[in-house]
Structure 1
Amino acid sequence: MKKILMTGHLGLVGRHLSPLLSQLGYEVVGFDIADGTGDICNTGQLSQALNECCGVIHLAAVSRVVWAQNAPEKCWKTNALASEQLLKLAANSAHKPWVLVASSREVYGEPKTLPVTETMPLAPVNIYGRSKLFMEDAALSARNAGINTAIVRLANVYGCTLDHEDRVLPAFCKNAVLDLDLRVDGFEHLFDFTHVDDTVAGLVKAITLLSEGEKQLPPIHLLPGHGTTLKQAAQMAIKAANSSSTIVEAASRDYDVARFIGDPTRAKSLLGWHASVLPEQGIARLVDAYNKKLKLGAHS
């Protein structure tokens, strides 16, 4: 059985990706500080975990822009330096596993034109984006050390009630179900929301290519290429929940990117992948999941 190390396996993407890989015959070795299986910043633990692995899926990170802004040193140590160390350890290990790193739309900063292609300038505007760009550079450099790497850039992944409830779409959907106000930090902020089911389907396709020996994958977007404003997303949640919630606009944060739509063409051509869940459908699914979860909690 092919053994894959997955850092951050208890995060939103990891929880949904692990079962898919198990079904495909991979042995997934979880590595996550949340359950004590591993700390990405601990070189000894990383080195041991890499033993006999044919591949690495690197999801572990200080995973939110606001957390990174509040703890910039921790963000850099985790997202940048620990990622670089992971790639060096992989290059120096006996099995030389391939490494797939999960990056972010934040590496582009505030794009001048939309939609954004993977070849557009990388100019992050916050510490989170800069740390992800450092990781990308380390992943590309690691190819010179003899390992196969791939970079996927994700955008506003959502779709699960186990996600952080203060993230924008979980917050909208839960509050809509509860008939509470929906706080919107900038009505016209525009994002490319990606359902987690689509995200993991694309990752599986990239992992398959890596496992088959593909060595020169360029950075790839996994996103629908479909823009939705925060106000529209809030309205979708209220409609799906048949809610009496009110939308309240608040000031946007000065370190947030305000507009992003990515071009998914490369994913379609290289992976044969496209997103199948657009925001209206995905938000309705999430509202339904919160409905069921909250009703279950009320009767337990």
Structure 2
Amino acid sequence: MNKILVTGAAGFIGSHLVKTLYESGYEIDIIDSFENVSPLFKEDYVNIISKDIKDIDKINTSCKYELIIHLAAKSTILWCEGNLENCIQDNIIGTYRVLKFALKKEIPIIFASSRDVYGEPLSLPVNERAPTNPINLYGMSKLYAEKILEYKSSVPTIVLRLSNVYGIGDRIDRAIPRFIIGAKKYNKIIVYGGEQVLDYVSVEDVVNAFIKSIKQISNIKYEVFNIGTGIGITIAKLAEMVTERLGGKIEFLPYRKVDAKKYIADIGKAKEILKWIPSRNISNDLDNLVDYYSNIG
């Protein structure tokens, strides 16, 4: 049985990913702080090695991993703005620790990065050659982590720059769960700005991108791929779609400067090299999301 090490496995994306890996026959070791545990996470799928990424150096030297999937990060933009030192420790230094371990053991890496590395793009859609100019500390931390991997990694490395990921089991402070819970519980959705155009990709399609990356990584030295849909939707329209289903009013508040105003991914490279194509979209999935998040929070 092939063994994979996954950091951040108990989170939203990780919980979906380890389920798929487990069902595909992988043995999965994980490192996770368990600070933000998805309700979908099941310990039955995994072996918990540690709750601290600093312990990665203490992993038994006899462990032979086919791959490391590095998801662990502080991913809340506003939290990072107020906690710079912890953001650096978790997102940058944590990635460096993973890389050191991977180099010592000669293990390929798949790293979950973010569309936030681009900041405010000059044009749409955004391809992987576009300038990287983050406008928030989270995006900066992801970009520095990428640079460490790019310049220091001598093992096969894939970086997946994820668009806005949606799905069941997400944190309820993120936009779609927050909109649904707001409409259902308070009869009001609060929207910051509203004119922002963003690319929402399903967690199922993101998991499939990781699976496709596993299959292709032996052919790759270092590559970056955008993972999105190539389709944009305004935040205001997304809120309207929720109120069409649940009722309620929309309250628009001033735009937050740490939020990008536009992003649509050019996913041509992922289609060509990873043989990955998104199969879902937010319009078709919203009813299921409304059913799920209406009953929590």
Kindly indicate whether the alpha-carbon contact (under 8 Å) linking 1:225 and 1:261 is maintained by their aligned counterparts in 2: yes
In structure 1, the partner of 2:111 is 101
Q: Which runs of 5+ in 1 are unaligned?
A: none
The structure-2 alpha-carbon separation of the partners of 1:120 and 1:222, relative to structure 1 and needing over 3 Å to count, comes to: same
In structure 1, the partner of 2:68 is 56
1:149 paired to 2:154? no
1:117 paired to 2:127? yes
Instruction: Give TM-score scaled by structure 1 length.
Output: 0.89
Distance 1:124 1:181 in 2: 31
Please state how far the C-alpha of 1:39 moved relative to its aligned partner. Answer: 4.0
Alignment partner of 1:275 out of 275, 278, 282: 278
Kindly indicate whether the alpha-carbon contact (under 8 Å) linking 1:40 and 1:82 is maintained by their aligned counterparts in 2: no
1:284 paired to 2:294? no
Q: Could you give the per-residue CA deviations for residues 106-139 of structure 1, whole angstroms, max 9, x where no partner exists? A: 1111111111001111111221111111111122
1:244 paired to 2:255? no
The structure-2 alpha-carbon separation of the partners of 1:91 and 1:142, relative to structure 1 and needing over 3 Å to count, comes to: same
1:69 paired to 2:81? yes
In structure 2, the partner of 1:87 is 99
1:128 paired to 2:138? yes
In structure 2, the partner of 1:23 is 23
Q: Which runs of 5+ in 2 are unaligned?
A: 36-47
Kindly indicate whether the alpha-carbon contact (under 8 Å) linking 2:113 and 2:159 is maintained by their aligned counterparts in 1: yes
Identity across the alignment (%): 32
Please state how far the C-alpha of 1:80 moved relative to its aligned partner. Answer: 0.6
The structure-2 alpha-carbon separation of the partners of 1:82 and 1:38, relative to structure 1 and needing over 3 Å to count, comes to: same
In structure 2, the partner of 1:228 is 233
Amino acid at match of 1:264: I
Please state how far the C-alpha of 1:217 moved relative to its aligned partner. Answer: 4.9
Please state how far the C-alpha of 1:252 moved relative to its aligned partner. Answer: 1.6
Kindly indicate whether the alpha-carbon contact (under 8 Å) linking 1:110 and 1:258 is maintained by their aligned counterparts in 2: yes
In structure 1, the partner of 2:182 is 175
SS at match of 2:69: strand
Distance 2:225 2:15 in 1: 21
Alignment partner of 1:185 out of 192, 197, 200: 192
The structure-2 alpha-carbon separation of the partners of 1:219 and 1:49, relative to structure 1 and needing over 3 Å to count, comes to: farther
Amino acid at match of 1:263: D
Distance 1:188 1:40 in 2: 39
In structure 1, the partner of 2:45 is none
Please state how far the C-alpha of 1:65 moved relative to its aligned partner. Answer: 1.0
Please state how far the C-alpha of 1:72 moved relative to its aligned partner. Answer: 0.9
Distance 1:41 1:201 in 2: 25
SS at match of 1:219: strand
Kindly indicate whether the alpha-carbon contact (under 8 Å) linking 2:117 and 2:139 is maintained by their aligned counterparts in 1: yes
The structure-2 alpha-carbon separation of the partners of 1:172 and 1:127, relative to structure 1 and needing over 3 Å to count, comes to: same
In structure 1, the partner of 2:33 is 33
The structure-2 alpha-carbon separation of the partners of 1:122 and 1:136, relative to structure 1 and needing over 3 Å to count, comes to: same
SS at match of 1:218: strand
Aligned residues: 284
Kindly indicate whether the alpha-carbon contact (under 8 Å) linking 1:39 and 1:46 is maintained by their aligned counterparts in 2: no
Distance 2:60 2:74 in 1: 20
Amino acid at match of 1:34: F
Distance 1:264 1:71 in 2: 32
Distance 1:234 1:205 in 2: 32
Amino acid at match of 2:4: I
Distance 1:216 1:133 in 2: 18
Kindly indicate whether the alpha-carbon contact (under 8 Å) linking 1:110 and 1:124 is maintained by their aligned counterparts in 2: yes
Amino acid at match of 2:181: K
SS at match of 1:150: strand
Please state how far the C-alpha of 1:179 moved relative to its aligned partner. Answer: 5.6
Distance 1:11 1:199 in 2: 14
Cα RMSD of the aligned pairs, angstroms, is 1.8
Amino acid at match of 1:195: S
Could you list the structure 1 runs, at least 4 aligned residues long, displaced by more than 3 angstroms after superposition. 44-47
Please state how far the C-alpha of 1:46 moved relative to its aligned partner. Answer: 4.3
Distance 2:153 2:279 in 1: 32
Please state how far the C-alpha of 1:290 moved relative to its aligned partner. Answer: 2.5
Distance 1:202 1:55 in 2: 15
